[in-house]
Structure 1
Amino acid sequence: MKKIVFCPLSPNMWEGFQTLYEDIISDPDNKVWVIPVPTYRRDSDNNLSDCEYSLEGYPANVKITEVNNFSFETEQPDIIYVQNISDTETLGFTMHPFFHTTNLKRFTKNLTYIPYSCMKEPGCSNHEYLESIRFMLVPSGFYNIDHAIVQSENMKSTLMHLLAGQSKALFDEWNSKITWQSYPRIEILKRYNKKTVPHPKEWDSFLVHKTTIHLLCTSVLDVLENNRNLFVKLKVTMKKYIDIKDQVLLIWRPHREMMTILKIMRPELVDEYEEILNYYKSNNIGILDESVTPTAAITFADKYIGDSCAVAVLFKSTGKEMDFTLFGDT
């Protein structure tokens, strides 16, 4: 009997484990626990507040175990799957210290990291840029894990470059630890089609009789880097889709925390962003995707336009068409 523990950060992030969990529970020789992780806001003095700990909101086939009802020390799981390994390094956020990699590694010989968030892939050629984002790609907790499942072969190569450098011994070690096969957020896209993918009911009135669907995503990074120029491109793109909306349906998916982040980091852009949102809605241009994950939007879309964000990474895995020239092209 193999003992396996999943430690999700939130029900909104369960999709990052879902396909792996379903495969594992199908084997009667596996004993599985799902133990949500308490998370907190952390200030600059390392004080914790605003605990978030949800035992509800998971799929019906997921049996949740409350953290105090499980003894890691007694059970000594064969595998522990985690979604975050930035033990104390993420500004404003932290997990309960029990779930830091420095602690969890005491209870298993296979601590496996599956990052929920995809990243725009930087590649290995720009060494200076890679070093500037090292803290994001390989936080200190990376050195405590036994395995990792990442989004792509290219991301594995990037991580190998940072972790191993020119050392063949380190290359061989990390090559055996990191895989890009069966990354759950890509695997789940293979399990749905347009008829089976769960989606908001209000989408149906847009989807009926539409044979061509385009997906436009707007990332926080793109807005922060391009400011008002990005909004100009959005407006140009939306006007174009007004003219063809009888033939082509546009799904627009701005980052779910866009407004919150703009209020903090670009307050001067808040009114303009609200104007863009209202323009899109009032002209009934298409679907405004505010759902938790982009899975439905990716599944319905025939073509991707927009910036090279995390959703683009997931969309690329489907093999469907991507055309970045359509965004803002006059």
Structure 2
Amino acid sequence: MRKRTAKKLVKCVDDILSSMEMLTKFKGNSYMVSKVKKVCSDNTAVLETKKDAGQRYSELLDEFKKKIESSDIEGAKKTADDFKNLISDSVVYKVVFMPYKASMWDSLESVWMVADKDKCCEAVVVPITYYELDSNRNPAKRVNEREEFPEYVPVVNDEEYDLENDRPDIIYIHNPYDNTNLVTRVDSRYYSWNLKKYCEKLVYVPYYKWVDGVSSTSFKSAMYYADYTVQSSDDAVKRCIEASPEYATILGLETIVVRRSMEKKLINLGSPEVDKVISLSKDNVPMPDDWKGKVIKSRVNVVYNTTLDEIFESRTFDKVRETLAFFKENSEKAFVIWRPHPLMKQTLTSMLPNLVNEYNEIMNEFVNGDYGVLDANPSMHYAMFWSDMYYGYKTSSMTELYKYTGKIILEDAPKLTKFVSKCSTENLLNELKESNVVSEPDYSLENIVDIIVGNDELKDGKHLNLENSGFKINNYILEKMCQEDEK
């Protein structure tokens, strides 16, 4: 039964006990006796409405009623304790997941999987509506991606979900920006401070993987309004807490107030995105049909992730052109799975309109070529699983996540073009024994491709076994709920 129902039933039991004790004090007062009996009768009637809660519930209720009728206060108290414990143990928490982009569902999926199997939870997935913004940051297109979620995830139409009346116990979100995002924006009813009105615990799980020492601590409003922000490292927790003065300025609050809040909200419980990467297999990410016959073992299949950060840093597509030219000229040994950021076109239109035409030209030339495939899948995991190595900017969460495949990563230097690497094959092999991550300009794309092309062991990578973060997150939040219920 729902938590609020359980609380109501426990209150009924307590009210009956209080009435019985009051009855002993007013035995000679017919008016008070009648009032007390009515209280007992009304509360018992409420308890009766939940007789379908199970045989044990019915047995304890019948026993409790007998003690009441016989005015056995001590016996009623003992039965009441057993009854209330049974009610509390049968509580089921309503847990609602409110993702907005299907491509970012991996940030919540392992938590949902655990909650969906947990007998203490009723888990529901409600993909929420958002808007694509134009160059003036006004809503240009209304979007809901519920149809793009995996088939094994049952989803609810947000227009049909009555949040205000359902009042879930826990809500999980992965969009932290509320009204501040410059490219897309969720519907205002889903801003974190609005969601918080209708649940006991609002939990924000970032849709990007934190990169220690690199990721930005920039303020995101859900970090403050949510009850908990799940982080994936101690570095993330520490640096975000240290950024409290900046957050306080934005919020117009005292630094000490914000810092204390951040210290309570920020918790390192790992990353559901890592859970997803480790679980990848041919069964859950079958090769896309349009990749078959192209992504083949005789070549080095490189996932090339083009991020918003690197385009903002370079302000040109020179490096992208150079990289794609390499694959075109070396198609016998290398093949590219090109994955531009899903919001690249919208972001350029909104923030770098002078680059839109060039991007369109590059895209048209690429899709008409035969040296690579465009990865426009909502999920990045097809590219992660079927590629042999990764090439991308170090600030990207995909770069960080790819490390957990155990395959080789070459970190891109966006402004660096036409450089010549002076590394030797021996040095590269030695370095790869220590780490699967190397960077430009120490090593070039050609260096890495040449060393991987005949090495199946490097292509397969070393896989890791880590504790499931979804399990840790679900258990942590439920424990917090139970602790507060016991107060």
Q: Which interval holds the TM-score relative to the shorter structure? A: 0.7 to 0.9
Please tell me whether residue 23 in structure 1 is matched to residue 104 in structure 2: no
Assess, with a 3 A threshold, how the Cα gap between structure 1 residues 70 and 312 changes in structure 2: closer, same or farther: same
Deviation, 1:302, is: 2.9
Indicate the structure (1 or 2) with the bigger Cα radius of gyration.
2
TM-score, normalising length: structure 1: 0.79
CA RMSD across the alignment: 3.5
Deviation, 1:284, is: 2.0
Partner residue of 2:289 out of 187, 193, 201? 201
Q: In the alignment, is the contact (CA less than 8 A) between 1:252 and 1:287 conserved in 2? A: yes
Alignment-derived partner of residue 127 in structure 1: none
Deviation, 1:28, is: 2.9
In 2, Cα distance between equivalents of 1:66 and 1:279: 39
Please tell me whether residue 145 in structure 1 is matched to residue 226 in structure 2: yes
Structure number with the bigger relative contact order (C-alpha 8 A, sep ≥ 6) is 1
Q: Given residue 339 of structure 2, which amino acid in structure 1 is its aligned partner?
A: R
Alignment-derived partner of residue 313 in structure 1: 400
Please tell me whether residue 227 in structure 1 is matched to residue 315 in structure 2: yes
Assess, with a 3 A threshold, how the Cα gap between structure 1 residues 25 and 87 changes in structure 2: closer, same or farther: same
In 1, Cα distance between equivalents of 2:410 and 2:172: 36
Deviations 1:276-329 (A, max 9, x none): 335544552222222222211122233222322232122134343222325577
Aligned residues: 317
In 2, Cα distance between equivalents of 1:49 and 1:286: 32
Q: Which runs of 5+ in 2 are unaligned?
A: 1-91, 247-254, 412-439, 448-487
1:98 aligned counterpart, secondary structure? helix
Assess, with a 3 A threshold, how the Cα gap between structure 1 residues 123 and 209 changes in structure 2: closer, same or farther: closer
Q: Given residue 191 of structure 1, which amino acid in structure 2 is its aligned partner?
A: S
Assess, with a 3 A threshold, how the Cα gap between structure 1 residues 323 and 98 changes in structure 2: closer, same or farther: closer
Q: Given residue 184 of structure 1, which amino acid in structure 2 is its aligned partner?
A: P
In 2, Cα distance between equivalents of 1:240 and 1:47: 39
TM-score, normalising length: structure 2: 0.56
Please tell me whether residue 250 in structure 1 is matched to residue 331 in structure 2: no
Please tell me whether residue 3 in structure 1 is matched to residue 94 in structure 2: yes
Q: Given residue 276 of structure 2, which amino acid in structure 1 is its aligned partner?
A: I
In 2, Cα distance between equivalents of 1:112 and 1:118: 16
In 2, Cα distance between equivalents of 1:240 and 1:234: 10
Assess, with a 3 A threshold, how the Cα gap between structure 1 residues 42 and 294 changes in structure 2: closer, same or farther: closer
Please tell me whether residue 112 in structure 1 is matched to residue 203 in structure 2: yes
Deviation, 1:251, is: 1.9
Alignment-derived partner of residue 348 in structure 2: 262
Partner residue of 1:85 out of 176, 182, 203? 176
Identity value in percent: 24
Identify the structure with the greater helix proportion: 2
For residues 24-103 of structure 1, the aligned pairs below 5 Å read 24-40=115-131, 50-67=141-158, 69-91=160-182, 93-103=184-194
Deviation, 1:112, is: 0.2
Assess, with a 3 A threshold, how the Cα gap between structure 1 residues 195 and 101 changes in structure 2: closer, same or farther: closer
Alignment-derived partner of residue 298 in structure 2: 210
In 1, Cα distance between equivalents of 2:300 and 2:356: 32
